[in-house]
Amino acid sequence: MNTIRNTSLYKGVQKQAHRLEQGTLDLLPDATFNKPKTVKMIGDIGHDISSAENRLILGVTALMTQPFIDARNKNVDEETRRVSVCRTISKIIVGTMTGYVIRKGAIKAIRSWSQLPAPGVSRYKTLFTPKGARSTNTEAFKQYQNAMGTVVALVVMMFTNFLIDAPLTKILTNLLVKNSGGDDKS
């Protein structure tokens, strides 16, 4: 890998990618938020939204945009366009729902399994408690729980993508195709 990174082709591609990235950023207008309420609101949103809610936001945004992009693809025939829209909608709905539920469940599980050791608290309820933790009510500890829940969810989703998402996406795609005026099986 180091041999590839030392080649002039790799460095040239990397330089062009950086130029493209910087050019895109340069197109965005500068924004300065001076009002304390606005600054606080933006900080609170970024601070309080977990990966589960973030997945839900991304899913809703995707559902509002991507099917329309597929529907406007003039490089394919009408039937392919219709099936593509159905498949896109299915992937977004199934992926968003399973992603949200798994992330939310993993974060909730980590919260219940990261309690402080105390008399009467079973060993498995302290399974994810960091050594040396003195309080579970600190902001850092809550962020730890969210991050650890997200990591656990990502590991779980490596399996559920094949076991749940793919079959449900196929079922929903077939249902949408059937009800959209065609009878194709995807």
Q: What pLDDT score does 134 carry? A: 80
Residue 114 to residue 34: CA distance in whole angstroms: 39
- pLDDT classification of 185: cutoffs 50, 70, 90: low
Residue 104 to residue 151: CA distance in whole angstroms: 12
Q: Give pTM, 2 decimals.
A: 0.72
Contact 63, 103 (CB under 8 A): no
Contact 56, 63 (CB under 8 A): no
Backbone angles phi, psi at 185, to 5 degrees: -110, 125
- pLDDT classification of 149: cutoffs 50, 70, 90: very high
Q: What pLDDT score does 17 carry? A: 81
What is the average per-residue pLDDT within 44-71? 90
What is the average per-residue pLDDT within 118-137? 84
What is the average per-residue pLDDT within 112-137? 85
* Encoded tokens for 65: 């945009």
Q: What pLDDT score does 162 carry? A: 94
Q: What pLDDT score does 169 carry? A: 97
What is the average per-residue pLDDT within 126-154? 87
